[in-house]
Amino acid sequence: MKDHKESKIKSYKRMLQLGALCVVAFSWQTAPSQQKAVTEGTVQVHMVITDAALRIDKKLPPLQREDVKVKQGKTLLKVTQLIPAQGSNAALQLMIMIDDTLDTAASGNNLNDLKAFISAQPASTDIGVAYMSNATTNVAQNFTADHALAVKAVRQPRGASSAMDSPYLSLISLVKSWPQQNVRREVLMVTDGIDRLRGEKPARSRLGPNFGPVYHSMPTISVDATSASEISQRYNVIVNSIYAVGIGRSARSSFDLQLGLSGLTKIADETGGDCFSLSTSNPVSFTPYLETLQKRLSNQYFLVFQVVPGKKAGFQRVNVQTELPNSKILVPNNAWVPAATE
């Protein structure tokens, strides 16, 4: 009787063990299928991010893939690659855009700082130089690895304005004509950010038809700043800027000056770049700003992550963060997500 009871207990234990093994086996089989379903329902998104130190005197440790978290709302997205923009991946196209409406007397010495910055760039950086006027971009030197040629293309701004000057439309013109390549693409704008095209247009007087057309300052940041930001994000162009004083009536209006600086700050923030300024005053030297920019360029990464696409290609809001001390990620506000493939 006792032996029969012990036999039943042993059989019961074997059944429990077998059941546990079945549960484990079922979990092991279903987990990969669930992972596969998530991967198959997503598309890859590529983005250039910048690891910016909270204190620039601190040396940054290199980021690892597990250090970066990408969220969409409350959903944690899968990061598949984080590639440092160094070595064989260090290629950079940097277009320097100088506003021809800048005050010549105020910008003269600072152009020497800009030339020194160009000369100090590594061989992996191709430099282009262009001038903004009449809502277009006049390229003085196309992208070249010969930095001496780029330095020669830097000249004094003309210090003249027209009714068609808009740094934002000039930026849009550049980005639209920029051939896409698998390299980092960045812009450094030297401008006051004032949209003279939008700001100088006459409006009908609200006091009545007998008062004729009236010129007003722009009530808000230029609408073209928003368009320039969106198209730069669409084509993965990071926009940086240095605020410099321009000429004309608008350049004497503190309200217009602030709107110009706000427009430049908006584009830089939304594309993952930086806007350098001494408020709306002309900086004594560009050198501190350019040194900070160089540190930014030296701490960039190609980030690849998975996103669930929509029916059509379009922007999706993502949030890229790291919990590492003394690190701050500069990243575009939106990711361009391709449509789901059939």
Tell me the pairing of strands 202-204 and 327-330. Answer: unpaired
Edge to edge, the sheet with strand 43-53 lists 79-84, 300-307, 43-53, 327-330
Using CA atoms, how far apart are residues 142 and 93, in angstroms rounded to an integer?
10
Using CA atoms, how far apart are residues 329 and 305, in angstroms rounded to an integer?
16
**Could you tell me the pLDDT band of residue 198, with boundaries at 50, 70 and 90?**
confident
How big is the chain, counted in residues? 342
- The two tokens of residue 122 are 């590594």
The pLDDT assigned to 45 comes to: 95
CA 220 to chain centroid, in Å, comes to 23
DSSP 278: B
**Could you tell me the pLDDT band of residue 274, with boundaries at 50, 70 and 90?**
very high
Range scoring the smallest mean pLDDT among 31-35, 200-204, 291-295: 31-35
Sign of CA dihedral 210, 215, 218, 219: negative
The pLDDT assigned to 56 comes to: 64
pLDDT, one tens digit per residue, over 219-262 is 788 999 999 999 999 999 999 999 998 887 666 678 888 999 99
Report CA dihedral (70, 75, 78, 81) to the nearest 10 degrees.
Answer: -10
The pLDDT assigned to 281 comes to: 86
Using CA atoms, how far apart are residues 121 and 118, in angstroms rounded to an integer?
6
Using CA atoms, how far apart are residues 123 and 309, in angstroms rounded to an integer?
38
Tell me the pairing of strands 68-72 and 319-322. Answer: antiparallel
Using CA atoms, how far apart are residues 287 and 278, in angstroms rounded to an integer?
13
Res 15 pLDDT > 50: no
Q: What share of the chain is helix, strand, coil (3-state, %, to 5)?
A: 40, 30, 35
Using CA atoms, how far apart are residues 189 and 178, in angstroms rounded to an integer?
16
Residue recorded with tokens 């963060």:
321
User: Which residue in 52, 33, 140, 47 sits closest to 338, CA to CA?
Assistant: 47
Domains in the chain, please, with CATH? 42-86+299-337 (no CATH), 90-297 (3.40.50.410)
pLDDT, one tens digit per residue, over 86-142 is 999 999 999 999 999 998 877 778 999 999 999 999 999 999 999 999 889 999 999
Q: How many helices (H) and strands (E) does the chain have?
A: 8, 17
Using CA atoms, how far apart are residues 271 and 191, in angstroms rounded to an integer?
17
The pLDDT assigned to 250 comes to: 65
Cβ contacts of 14 within 8 Å, gap of 6 or more: none
pLDDT, one tens digit per residue, over 150-164 is 999 999 998 877 767
Using CA atoms, how far apart are residues 237 and 231, in angstroms rounded to an integer?
8
Neighbours of 186 (CB within 10 A): 26
User: Which residue in 102, 212, 225 sits closest to 172, CA to CA?
Assistant: 225
